[in-house]
C-alpha cells in the first residue's frame, strides 16, 4: 500500500508539479524515497514505510553508504548534526514523541517534514500551532448538516490530523506547539501516553480510537517565543527533546544557502546568477552577527532579530529576484545589502544601529582588500 | 549541487575508496604479523586493542614482548605484575634541569589502567613466561631533545604533568579530519569507537591489526617529516628499533613467526618494520651525559577522573569509567549481553544521581527505560554490536534533558562524573614510594584524614581548645605552603593578613587526589618528610625574596616567620628568626618595621594556635624591632608623601602596643617591657622647634600622641597646631595636614580643648578667602576621621565661638514615615539593580 501511495504521489508530481508553489518532501524526493524503499533490506518497525537506516540515509544522504549501482544518489538534506538525526529516528520508533526545539530558522520544520515523509510516506498530517488553535483543529470536528440528520456517526465526523494519524498509523507533525495555550497542548497527553483518542459522542467500541502502529508526533518549538518551560511537566515528560542549533560551519551554510536559494529562484522563474564568493560575504556576515564574533576574533554586538540560515536564503532569494528583474541578472553585494532591510532588520531601531556599526567596523575594513565586501559596503546607506 | 560538494572537498582525494582500504589492510596485516617480529599497533587505553592483544599473546605465545615506554621503566615491571597493583596507576617521570633548588622542572605521567593494552601485554606476557622489555626514549632525553631541536623558538619553561604516550599525531591529522567528516562523526573519539571499539568482536585479530595500521599509516602520511624530527618522534622510534634489533640478535636467527611481539602506538608501529629492517639503524642525536640525580621515576596511584581530565586533548580516551565498565563486564568478544547491561547500569546510575538535585528535570524510571531502549536502538541503527560511548551520551541527552541544551549543565556534569568513574588505583608496598609520600600517608592516617577517597570532606579544627588539633592544622598548612592540592582552608583566623582573628576554629576542605600524590612525589627532591620539604620551601622563599629585591624588609621577613609558625615548623624557625633579625636591623623604612612590629605582637598574642610560646626568641625580637622603629621615627620628619598614611598607622599601632603592655595582666616573666621613653623622646624630637617636619601630619600626630600619653599639655598642642597652620608654605595641604594628623590619633582634643578651637578659628579668620577655599578639600579629608555626631559636636562649639546659637538644620526630622519607606525601598531597588549589573 505504501508503495502505491508514493507511486501515485509521483504521478501527481508529473502531472501537476508546475501547479504547486511548494512541493512537500514526499513529492519533491519521490524518486529517492522509491529507490530507498526498493533497496531497503533492513527490518522496518511496524507501520513504517522504511527501515530506520533508510530513513537516516534519506535525511543524511548516501555519501557514507551508497545504495548500489543503479540507484540514484540520495542527497544530504540536513546538515550539521548527524547524531541528532539518529536520535530523532530512534525516538520515533519508541513510545515518546519527538520535540525539536531551537532558534527560529534552524530547519526544525524541514527536519520534521523529512522524517514524516520518510517514516509515514507523507508529511501532510500537520497541525499548525497558533494562539487560536482549538481542539477541533487537532482531534476532529463535525459536519453539522450530517450531524443533525444522522447524529454522531463516523460519516458525520470530520477527522483532523491527530485523528488521522492515530487511525492510519502515521506520523503527525505539530508545528510551533508552544504557541498554543497550555490547555490545548495538554490534549496530547492522553494520546501520547495511552495511544488512544476518546470520542465521547460515539457509543460502544467506537468511543475509543486506538492508535495503529506507526503513529507518533513530531512537535517543533522555537526558543524565541514562549519557551518550553511553560509546557506542563506532564506533557514534557512524554517527549524526548532535541535542540537544533544553527549550522556552525560557514562552508556548509554557504552550500546550503546557494542550493536552496538557487532552487527557489528557479521555481519563481527568476534566473539570476549566484556567485559563490558574493554569497559567502552574506553568509559570513550572518555567521558573525549571530555568534557575536568576527572571524578574526573581534567582538560584534548581536542583533536581536533572527539571523538563521533560512533568513540568509530569503535575503539571497530576494536579491536574486532584484537582480533578475531590475538588474543584469548577476547578484552582487549591493543587492544583498539592500535586501537586509526588510528581511532581517524588522522594526528594531537597536538592530539597525548594531548592523550599521558592523558595516562601519568590520565590513569597511574588509572592503579595502576584497571587492565583494566592497560592494556589500557601498550599499550600507540603504540600511 | 552535489558536484559542488565534491569540488569543495578536494582534499578528500587523499582518502582511498573502501576497496583500496581493504587491500591495504591485508598488506599491512601480512607485513606486521607474518615475520619473527610481530608489530601490534594499539591506541592507548583502548579495550578493543587489549582484547585482541590478549588473544594474540595467548595464541602466538611470543618469547619476548616489547612495550612502548622509556627503557628505564623495566624496573617497574615487577611492581606492575604484583597482585597488589591495581589500575589506574601511573609512572611519574621527573627531570630537573640542574641541581639548584630553583631549577626548571619537568614531569610527565605514563598512566596505565586495567584495560590499557600496555599493561595487558605485560600481565599476559608474564602468564606465558615471556621476556618483558620497555622501549622508548627516556623522558629527560625527550625534553632535552625537543629543546635542542627547537632551540631557536621560544623555550617553554617548566612543564609539569605532560603525558607520555601522546597521541596528538593520530588525533589531529588531515586524513582523520576528513574521515570524521565523511563518517558523520563528531570527533576522532566517536570515529574510533565506531570503527574499532564497537566492532572489535566482528574482526579477526589480523583484520583488526591491518585496519588499524592502515588508518595510522594514512594519518602519518599527512605529517611533515621535519615535524616528526623536531618533536623527537624519529628519535624515539630509532630507540625502539634499536631495542628490537637487540632482541632479534638474541634469537640468533632461530626465531619462529611471532617470537618477538612489539606493542606500540599505531602511529609508530607503521614506521618500525622499516627501521628495524634497514641496513643502517637510525641513530638519535647525541645528547650530553645526564646526571642521574636529576631524573627520577615513581610508580604512583592514579585516578580515573585525572585520566579523564587529561584525555581528549592529548592522549587516551575520554570517560574512562565507561570503558572500565565494559572491560569489567567481560573479557570475551561474546560477552555482548553482559556489556550491554553494564552500559544500561551506567544509565540508571546517571538517572539516580539526577534525583534530589536542583536540576530542571529529575530523571524518572520511565526516563531510564526510554534511555536504555534508545541506547539499543541507536546502536542497532548505527550498526554497533556493543553500544558506544556516544550512543550512551545520545540516549541520555534525548531522554533525560527537557530543556534547550543550554539548561543542561548539571545533567552534563552528572554524566561526566559517572562516566569518569571513581576508581583509584593501588600500588604494591614493595614498589617503594618517594619517602615523602610515606610520611604523608603516615601523618594523614594518624590525623584520620582521607588518603584514598577523592570525595572532599570538611574538617573543623579547634585551634584554641584542643591542643591535639594543632598538629593537624600545622600539617595542612605545610601542604598548602607546598602547593599540594590536598587541603584548602575555607575559614578561620588569618594571622598573616590579620583578618578574622576572633575565629576559634579553622575549617578545611580536605580530599585526596592523585595529583596531590604526584606533587608530593615531585617534592621528594626537597626533603624526606612533609615538614622537611616545607622548611626547604621556606628557605627557597627566603632566597627568592632576597633575589627579588624585597631584601631588608622587616615586614616581609615577619610574614615568613608567621608562615613558618602556622606550619608548626618552630624547630626550624630559629633560622628564620635570624633572618628576621637581619632584616629588622637593615630595614630603613619606618613603615615596614612598624608593620612588622605589630605583626610580631600579633604572633605573640596568638599563642595557642601558632604556639608562639615555643618561639623563645620572640620577646627579644619584638624589643629589637621596637627599638629599631623608634630609631627610625626621626626620619619621619622628611617622610615622602606616599608613606605618610602608613607612617601615621605605624605611629598609632606602636602607641596601642604600649597601651596594651601597660594593661597586660599576664605573668611577670612573660611580660614584654618596652621602654615608653624611647617612643616619647622620638616624638618630642619630631615636634621640637628646631625641626618642624616637612609633613605637618607627622607633627600633628606626634603632638596628639604625646598629649595622649600625658607628656605635653594643652598649650603645647595649640602652639604646634598654630605653628603649622601659620607656616608660610604655599601648598595648603601641607598646612592642613596638622589637623589630619591630630585627628587621626587624638580627635577628642577638638571638643575637649576649647582653647585649641579658638586659636584655629582666629587663624582661619586671618586667611584670605581664596586660601581658605583651597584648603577646604584637605580639611574635608581631615574631618573624615570624625563621625557625623562628632562633626556636629565640633561644629556646635565653633558656632558658639561666634555666638551663633543655631548652626542650621543638619538633620531633617520632619520626614514622614511614608517618605522614609519610599526612600528605603528606592535604595533597595537601586542596590539590587546595581548588583544585577555587577556594579556593586
Query: What mean pLDDT is predicted for residues B499-520?
Result: 80
Cell matching residue A249: 560551519
- Percent pLDDT > 90 in chain A is 23
Q: Which of B307, B298, B301, B302 is nearest to B72 (CA)?
A: B298
Q: List the single residue in A90, A223, A228 with the smallest CB-CB distance to B378.
A: A90
Choose the weakest-confidence range: B95-104, B128-137, B447-456, B745-754.
B95-104
Task: Tell me the pLDDT tens digit for each residue of A344-361.
Answer: 777 677 777 778 778 877
Q: Which of B313, B219, B327 is nearest to B266 (CA)?
A: B219
Q: Can you give the pLDDT at residue A159?
A: 94
Q: List the single residue in A64, A90, A242 with the smallest CB-CB distance to B381.
A: A90
Q: Which residue of B has its CA nearest to A55?
A: B381
B351 touches A: beta carbon within 8 Å = no
Q: Which residues of B touch A87 (CB under 8 A)?
A: 374, 378, 394-395, 397-398
Q: Are B106 and B162 in contact (CB under 8 A)?
A: yes
On the 0-12 / 13-18 / 19+ scale of CB atoms within 10 A, B495 is buried
Check pLDDT > 50 for residue B6: no
HEC string of B155-201 equals CCCCEEEEECCCCHHHHCCHHHHHHHHHCCCCCHHHHHHHHHHCCHH
B373 touches A: beta carbon within 8 Å = yes
Task: Tell me the pLDDT tens digit for each residue of B206-240.
Answer: 999 999 999 888 888 888 888 888 888 888 888 89
Q: Which residue of B has its CA nearest to A52?
A: B381
Check pLDDT > 80 for residue A168: yes
Q: Which helix (H) or strand (E) holds A194?
A: helix A187-194
Q: Can you give the pLDDT at residue B4?
A: 34
Choose the weakest-confidence range: A172-181, A218-227, B265-274, B334-343.
A218-227
With the C-alpha atoms ordered B360, B363, B364, B370, is the resulting torsion angle positive or negative? Answer: positive
Query: What mean pLDDT is predicted for residues B87-98?
Result: 81
- CB A90 to CB B398 under 8 A? yes
Query: Chain A: which residues have CB within 8 Å of chain B?
Result: 52-53, 56, 60, 63-64, 73, 75-76, 82-83, 86-87, 89-91, 93-96, 101-102, 223, 227-229, 236-237, 239-243, 245, 251, 255, 258-259, 262
Choose the weakest-confidence range: A22-31, B190-199, B518-527, B777-786.
B518-527
Check pLDDT > 60 for residue A9: no
- CB B374 to CB A91 under 8 A? yes
What part of B 153-212 touches A (C-beta under 8 Å)?
Answer: 182-186
Check pLDDT > 90 for residue A365: no
Q: Can you give the pLDDT at residue B438?
A: 83
- CB B182 to CB A63 under 8 A? yes
Q: Can you give the pLDDT at residue B348?
A: 92
Task: Write the Ramachandran bin of B258: left for phi over 0, alpha for psi from -120 to 50, otherwise beta.
Answer: left
Q: List the single residue in A83, A94, A101 with the smallest CB-CB distance to B404.
A: A101
Q: Supply the DSSP string of B546-608, one letter for each residue.
A: HHTT--S-HHHHHHHHHHHHHTT-HHHHHHHHHHHHHHHHH---HHHHHHHHHHHHHHHH-HH
Task: Measure the CA–CA gap between B700 and B715, rounded to whole angstroms.
Answer: 14
Task: Measure the CA–CA gap between A242 and A119, rounded to whole angstroms.
Answer: 18
Check pLDDT > 90 for residue B697: no
Task: Measure the CA–CA gap between B736 and A367, rounded to whole angstroms.
Answer: 61
Q: Can you give the pLDDT at residue B163?
A: 61
Superfamily of domain A2-244: P-loop containing nucleotide triphosphate hydrolases (3.40.50.300)
ipTM: 0.77
- CB A228 to CB B404 under 8 A? yes
Confidence of residue A116 (pLDDT cuts 50, 70, 90): very high
Query: Could you give phi then psi for residue B552, rounded to 5 degrees?
Result: 55, 45
Task: Measure the CA–CA gap between B487 and B778, rounded to whole angstroms.
Answer: 48
The domain ranges of chain A are 2-244, 250-382
Q: List the single residue in A63, A83, A101 with the smallest CB-CB distance to B394.
A: A83
B7 touches A: beta carbon within 8 Å = no
Cα-based torsion angle of the residue sequence B805, B810, B816, B820 in order, rounded to the nearest 10 degrees: -160
Task: Measure the CA–CA gap between A320 and A262, rounded to whole angstroms.
Answer: 9
CA distance B404 to chain A (A): 6
Query: What mean pLDDT is predicted for residues A86-106?
Result: 88
Q: What is the CA radius of gyration of chain B?
A: 37
Q: Can you give the pLDDT at residue A14?
A: 41
- Percent pLDDT > 90 in chain B is 8
Q: Can you give the pLDDT at residue B583?
A: 82
Q: Can you give the pLDDT at residue B8?
A: 33
Check pLDDT > 50 for residue B10: no
Q: Can you give the pLDDT at residue B527?
A: 67
Cell matching residue B468: 591535639
Q: Which of B487, B490, B491, B492 is nearest to B450 (CA)?
A: B487
DSSP-derived letter for residue A62 is S
Q: Supply the DSSP string of B705-766, one letter for each residue.
A: HHHHTTSS-HHHHHHHHHHHHT---S-HHHHHHHHHHHHHHHTTHHHH-HHHHHHHHHHHHH
- Name B264's Cβ contacts closer than 8 Å, sequence gap at least 6: B39, B40, B41, B42, B67, B68, B135, B240, B272
Q: CA of B831: how far to CAs of B6, B828, B836, in Å?
A: 60, 5, 9
DSSP-derived letter for residue A361 is I
Q: Can you give the pLDDT at residue A49?
A: 92
Q: Which helix (H) or strand (E) holds B229?
A: helix B225-230
Highest averaged pLDDT of the listed ranges B269-273, B491-495, B523-527: B269-273
Mutation test of the interface with chain A: which of B183, B184, B397, B411, choosing the one with the most A Cβ atoms within 10 A? Answer: B184
Choose the weakest-confidence range: A41-55, A63-77, B52-66, B708-722.
A63-77
Q: How many CB pairs under 8 A join A and B?
A: 84
Q: CA of A216: how far to CAs of A173, A192, A194, B464, B601, in Å?
A: 9, 8, 12, 69, 78
Q: What angle do CA B357, B363, B365 make, to 5 degrees?
A: 130
Task: Measure the CA–CA gap between B424 and B413, rounded to whole angstroms.
Answer: 20
- CB A241 to CB B401 under 8 A? yes
The domain ranges of chain B are 11-310, 320-420, 433-523, 675-806, 809-840
B252: helix, coil or strand? coil
Check pLDDT > 80 for residue A191: yes
Q: Can you give the pLDDT at residue B345?
A: 92
- CB A243 to CB B405 under 8 A? yes
Mean pLDDT of chain B: 81
Q: Which residue of B has its CA nearest to A245?
A: B405
Check pLDDT > 90 for residue B778: no
On the 0-12 / 13-18 / 19+ scale of CB atoms within 10 A, A193 is middle
Choose the weakest-confidence range: B177-181, B259-263, B575-579.
B575-579
Q: Which residues of B touch A242 (CB under 8 A)?
A: 398
Choose the weakest-confidence range: A22-31, A290-299, B368-377.
A290-299
Check pLDDT > 50 for residue B314: yes
DSSP-derived letter for residue A78 is -
Q: Can you give the pLDDT at residue B164?
A: 61
More confident residue, B282 or A331: A331
What part of B 391-430 touches A (C-beta under 8 Å)?
Answer: 394-395, 397-399, 401-405
User: How far out from the chain centre does Cα B431 lie?
Assistant: 28
Q: Can you give the pLDDT at residue A50?
A: 92
HEC string of B316-348 equals CCCCHHHHHHHHHHCCCCCCHHHHHHHHHHHHH
Amino acid at each position: 500500500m505504501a508503495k502505491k501511495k508514493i507511486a501515485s504521489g509521483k504521478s501527481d508530481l508529473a502531472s501537476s508539479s508546475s501547479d504547486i508553489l511548494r512541493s512537500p518532501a514526499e513529492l519533491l524526493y519521490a524518486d529517492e524515497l522509491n529507490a530507498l524503499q526498493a533497496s531497503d533490506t533492513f527490518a522496518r518497525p511496524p507501520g513504517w514505510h522504511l527501515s530506520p537506516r533508510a530513513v537516516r540515509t534519506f535525511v543524511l544522504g548516501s555519501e557514507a553508504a551508497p545504495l548500489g549501482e543503479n540507484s540514484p544518489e540520495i542527497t544530504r538534506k540536513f546538515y550539521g548534526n548527524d547524531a541528532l538525526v539518529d536520535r530523532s529516528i530512534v525516538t520515533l520508533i519508541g513510545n515518546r514523541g519527538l520535540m525539536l526545539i531551537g532558534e527560529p530558522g534552524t530547519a526544525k520544520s524541514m527536519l520534521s517534514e523529512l522524517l514524516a515523509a520518510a517514516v509515514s510516506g507523507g508529511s501532510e498530517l500537520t497541525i499548525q500551532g497558533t494562539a487560536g488553535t482549538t481542539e477541533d483543529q487537532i482531534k476532529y470536528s463535525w459536519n453539522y448538516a450530517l450531524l443533525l440528520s444522522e447524529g454522531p456517526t463516523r460519516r458525520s465526523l470530520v477527522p483532523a490530523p491527530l485523528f488521522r494519524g492515530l487511525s492510519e498509523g502515521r506520523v503527525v507533525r505539530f508545528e510551533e506547539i508552544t504557541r498554543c495555550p497550555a490547555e490545548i497542548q495538554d490534549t496530547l497527553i492522553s494520546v501520547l501516553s495511552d495511544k488512544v483518542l476518546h470520542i465521547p459522542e460515539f457509543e460502544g467500541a467506537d468511543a475509543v480510537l486506538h492508535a495503529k502502529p506507526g503513529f507518533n508526533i513530531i512537535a517543533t518549538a522555537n526558543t524565541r517565543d514562549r519557551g518550553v518551560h511553560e509546557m506542563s511537566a506532564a506533557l514534557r515528560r512524554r517527549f524526548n527533546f532535541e535542540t537544533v542549533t544553527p549550522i556552525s560551519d560557514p562552508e556548509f551554510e554557504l552550500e546550503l544557502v546557494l542550493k536552496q536559494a538557487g532552487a527557489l529562484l528557479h521555481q519563481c522563474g527568476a534566473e539570476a546568477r549566484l556567485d559563490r564568493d558574493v554569497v559567502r560575504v552574506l553568509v559570513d556576515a550572518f555567521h558573525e552577527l549571530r555568534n557575536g564574533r568576527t572571524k578574526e576574533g573581534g567582538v560584534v554586538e548581536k542583533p536581536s532579530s533572527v539571523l538563521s540560515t533560512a533568513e540568509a536564503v530569503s535575503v539571497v532569494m530576494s536579491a536574486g529576484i532584484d537582480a533578475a528583474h531590475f538588474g543584469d541578472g548577476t547578484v552582487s553585494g549591493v543587492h544583498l545589502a539592500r535586501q537586509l532591510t526588510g528581511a532581517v532588520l524588522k522594526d528594531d531601531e537597536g538592530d539597525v544601529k548594531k548592523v550599521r556599526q558592523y558595516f562601519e567596523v568590520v565590513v569597511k575594513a574588509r572592503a579595502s582588500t576584497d571587492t565583494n565586501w566592497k560592494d556589500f559596503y557601498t550599499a550600507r546607506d540603504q540600511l | 549541487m552535489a558536484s559542488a560538494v565534491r569540488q569543495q572537498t578536494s582534499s578528500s582525494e587523499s582518502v582511498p575508496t573502501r576497496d583500496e582500504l581493504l587491500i591495504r589492510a591485508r598488506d599491512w596485516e601480512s607485513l606486521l604479523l607474518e615475520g619473527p617480529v610481530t608489530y601490534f599497533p594499539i591506541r592507548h587505553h583502548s579495550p578493543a586493542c587489549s582484547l585482541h592483544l590478549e588473544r594474540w599473546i595467548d595464541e602466538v605465545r611470543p618469547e619476548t614482548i616489547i612495550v612502548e615506554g622509556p627503557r628505564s621503566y623495566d624496573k617497574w615491571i615487577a611492581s606492575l605484575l604484583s597482585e597488589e597493583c591495581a589500575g589506574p596507576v601511573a609512572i611519574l617521570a621527573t627531570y630537573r634541569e640542574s641541581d639548584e633548588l630553583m631549577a626548571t622542572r619537568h614531569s610527565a605521567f605514563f598512566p596505565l589502567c586495567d584495560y590499557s593494552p600496555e599493561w595487558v601485554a605485560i600481565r599476559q606476557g608474564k602468564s606465558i613466561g615471556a621476556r618483558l622489555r620497555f622501549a622508548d626514549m627516556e623522558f629527560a632525553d625527550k625534553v632535552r631533545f625537543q629543546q635542542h631541536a627547537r632551540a631557536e623558538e621560544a623555550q617553554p619553561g617548566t612543564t609539569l604533568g605532560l603525558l607520555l604516550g601522546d597521541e596528538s599525531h593520530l588525533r589531529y591529522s588531515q586524513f582523520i579530519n576528513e574521515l570524521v567528516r565523511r563518517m558523520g562523526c563528531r570527533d576522532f573519539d566517536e570515529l574510533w569507537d565506531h570503527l574499532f571499539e564497537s566492532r572489535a568482536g566482528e574482526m579477526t585479530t589480523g583484520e583488526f591489526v591491518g585496519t588499524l595500521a592502515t588508518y595510522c599509516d594514512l594519518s602519518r602520511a599527512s605529517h611533515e617529516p621535519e615535524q616528526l624530527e623536531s618533536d623527537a618522534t624519529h628519535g624515539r622510534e630509532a630507540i625502539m628499533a634499536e631495542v628490537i634489533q637487540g632482541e632479534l640478535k638474541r634469537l640468533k636467527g632461530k626465531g619462529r613467526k611471532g617470537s618477538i611481539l612489539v606493542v606500540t602506538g599505531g602511529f609508530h608501529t607503521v614506521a618500525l618494520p622499516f627501521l628495524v629492517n634497514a641496513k643502517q639503524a637510525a641513530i638519535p642525536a647525541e645528547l650530553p651525559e645526564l646526571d642521574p640525580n636529576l631524573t627520577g621515576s615513581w610508580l604512583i596511584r592514579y585516578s580515573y577522573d585525572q585520566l579523564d581530565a587529561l584525555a581528549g586533548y592529548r592522549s587516551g580516551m575520554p570517560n574512562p569509567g565507561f570503558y572500565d565498565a565494559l572491560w569489567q563486564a567481560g573479557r570475551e568478544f561474546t560477552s555482548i549481553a553482559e556489556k550491554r547491561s553494564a552500559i544500561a547500569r551506567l544509565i540508571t546510575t546517571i538517572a539516580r544521581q539526577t534525583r534530589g538535585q536542583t536540576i530542571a528535570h529529575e530523571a524518572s524510571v520511565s526516563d531510564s527505560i526510554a534511555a536504555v531502549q534508545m541506547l539499543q536502538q541507536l546502536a542497532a541503527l548505527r550498526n554497533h554490536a556493543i553500544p558506544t560511548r556516544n550512543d550512551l551520551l545520545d540516549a541520555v541527552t534525548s531522554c533525560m534533558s527537557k530543556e534547550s541544551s543550554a539548561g543542561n549543565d548539571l545533567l552534563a556534569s552528572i554524566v561526566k562524573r559517572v562516566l569518569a568513574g571513581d576508581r583509584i588505583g593501588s600500588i604494591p608496598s614493595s614498589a617503594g614510594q618517594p619517602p615523602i609520600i610515606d610520611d604523608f600517608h603516615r601523618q594523614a592516617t594518624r590525623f584520620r584524614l582521607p588518603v584514598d577517597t577523592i570525595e572532599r570532606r570538611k574538617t573543623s579544627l579547634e585551634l584554641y581548645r584542643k591542643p591535639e588539633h594543632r598538629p593537624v592544622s600545622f600539617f595542612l598548612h605545610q601542604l598548602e605552603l607546598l602547593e599540594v592540592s590536598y587541603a584548602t582552608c575555607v575559614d578561620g583566623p588569618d594571622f598573616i593578613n590579620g583578618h578574622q582573628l576572633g575565629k576559634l576554629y579553622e575549617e578545611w576542605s580536605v580530599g585526596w587526589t592523585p595529583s596531590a600524590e604526584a606533587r608530593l612525589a615531585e617534592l621528594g627532591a626537597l626533603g624526606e618528610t612533609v615538614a622537611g620539604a616545607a622548611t626547604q620551601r621556606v628557605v627557597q622563599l627566603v632566597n627568592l625574596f632576597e633575589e627579588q629585591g624585597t631584601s631588608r624588609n622587616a615586614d616581609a621577613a615577619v610574614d615568613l616567620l608567621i608562615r613558618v609558625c602556622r606550619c608548626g615548623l618552630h624547630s626550624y624557625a630559629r633560622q628564620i628568626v635570624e633572618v628576621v633579625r637581619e632584616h629588622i636591623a637593615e630595614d630603613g623604612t619606618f613603615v615596614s618595621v612598624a608593620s612588622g612590629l605589630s605583626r610580631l605582637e600579633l604572633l605573640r598574642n596568638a599563642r595557642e594556635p601558632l604556639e608562639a610560646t615555643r618561639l623563645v626568641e620572640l620577646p627579644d625580637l619584638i624589643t629589637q624591632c621596637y627599638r629599631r622603629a623608634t630609631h627610625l621615627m626621626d626620619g619621619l620628619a622628611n617622610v615622602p608623601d606616599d608613606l605618610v598614611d602608613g607612617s601615621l598607622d605605624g605611629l598609632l599601632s606602636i602607641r596601642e602596643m604600649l597601651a596594651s603592655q601597660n594593661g597586660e595582666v599576664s605573668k611577670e616573666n612573660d611580660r614584654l617591657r618596652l621602654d615608653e621613653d624611647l617612643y616619647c623622646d622620638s616624638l618630642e624630637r619630631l615636634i621640637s622647634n628646631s625641626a618642624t617636619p616637612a609633613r605637618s601630619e607627622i607633627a600633628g600626630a606626634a603632638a596628639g600622641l604625646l598629649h595622649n600619653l600625658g607628656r605635653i599639655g594643652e598649650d603645647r598642642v595649640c602652639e604646634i597646631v598654630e605653628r603649622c597652620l601659620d607656616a608660610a608654605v604655599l601648598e595648603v595641604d601641607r598646612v592642613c595636614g596638622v589637623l589630619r594628623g591630630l585627628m587621626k590619633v587624638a580627635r577628642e582634643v577638638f571638643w575637649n580643648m576649647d582653647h585649641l578651637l579658638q586659636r584655629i578659628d582666629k587663624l582661619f579668620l586671618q586667611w584670605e578667602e581664596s586660601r581658605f577655599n583651597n584648603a577646604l578639600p584637605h580639611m574635608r579629608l581631615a574631618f573624615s576621621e570624625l563621625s557625623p555626631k562628632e562633626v556636629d559636636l565640633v561644629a556646635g562649639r565653633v558656632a558658639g565661638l561666634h555666638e551663633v546659637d543655631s548652626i542650621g538644620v543638619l538633620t531633617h526630622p520632619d520626614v514622614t514615615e511614608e517618605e522614609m519607606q519610599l526612600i528605603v525601598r528606592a535604595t533597595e531597588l537601586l542596590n539590587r539593580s546595581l548588583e544585577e549589573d555587577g556594579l556593586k
